[in-house]
Amino acid sequence: MQQPIRIAPSILSADFANLGEEVRAIDRAGADYIHIDVMDGHFVPNITIGSGVTKALRPHSEKVFDVHLMIAPVDPFIEDFAKAGADIITVHVEATPHVHRTIQLIKSLGKKAGISLNPSTPVSAVDYLLGELDLVLVMSVNPGFGGQSFIESQLDKVAELRRRIDDSGRTIDLEIDGGINFDTAPRAIAAGADVLVAGTATFTGGPDAYEANIRRLRG
């Protein structure tokens, strides 16, 4: 069943020179999850932040830290992010050959486990994993950068995942990430998403605009 809509601002679009205050600002503005995009310049063509910054941000908000790992290999770094204060750890199915093992590792550390699918990855990639997962993340851009255009075909993927999650009878977040704005957000929700990641759309206009941006994304 589709859960209440939650908004997960991606701090990739925040002022990196002022990250603590930015996290406090989106927390006050009504963010549900704090979405932390971790990139390695190998799995994706960009380098962002790591577990050290994640740990430094932890005291700035009690909201859910939703850590999106776009790194390969990923297993050697899971424990660092768990200790840094991640609540949900999401890995890419394309980034690790033994994704079932990776999920068990995340859960063994007491964290919620998510799997992310790149735009070209079929829904069947989660067929034998849904029974283990707390979150499925559909990438609606090719991961690597904020501010890219929404890939329309991913709405069908969200709809198909909605059916499979509902059939599973489990409570699993269905999150969408990339190109979410005031136009695409309602369409992603209609397709069945219940967690919306939004970088550009949250942070446009500066701190005075965050609350209105988040409210409008929620629909």
Please give the positions annotated as active site. 37, 177
Q: Which member of 177, 201, 202, 214 binds Zn ion (CB under 5 A)?
A: 177
Q: Which member of 200, 209, 211, 216 binds ligand DX5 (CB under 6 A)?
A: 200
In the block, tokens 């209609």 appear at 190
Q: Which member of 55, 60, 79, 144 binds ligand DX5 (CB under 6 A)?
A: 144
Region 72-101 residues binding Zn ion, contact defined as CB under 5 A = none
Residue 185 as a binder of ligand DX5 (CB under 6 A): the answer is no
Q: Which member of 6, 63, 68, 162 binds Zn ion (CB under 5 A)?
A: 68
CB 195 within 8 A of CB 34: no
Alpha carbon distance 90, 140 (integer Å): 15
In the block, tokens 């290999």 appear at 73
Give 149 or 168: the residue with its C-beta nearer to ligand DX5: 149
User: Residue 173: enclosing H or E segment and its boundaries?
Assistant: strand 173-177
Per-residue mark of binding to ligand DX5, 45-74 (x: CB under 6 A):
-----------------------x------
Q: Which member of 178, 184, 194, 210 binds ligand DX5 (CB under 6 A)?
A: 178
Alpha carbon distance 178, 3 (integer Å): 20
Q: Which partner, ligand DX5, Zn ion, none, binds residue 78 by CB below 5 to 8 Å per kind?
A: none
The Cβ of residue 1 has, within 10 Å, a number of other Cβ atoms equal to: 9
Q: Which partner, ligand DX5, Zn ion, none, binds residue 179 by CB below 5 to 8 Å per kind?
A: ligand DX5
Residue 37 as a binder of Zn ion (CB under 5 A): the answer is yes
The size of the interface with ligand DX5 (CB under 6 A), counted in residues, is 21
Query: C-alpha distances in angstroms, 112 versus 4, 29, 84, 96, 102?
Result: 18, 24, 14, 18, 12
The Cβ of residue 145 has, within 10 Å, a number of other Cβ atoms equal to: 16
CB 6 within 8 A of CB 196: yes
The contact set with Zn ion (CB under 5 A) reads: 37, 68, 177
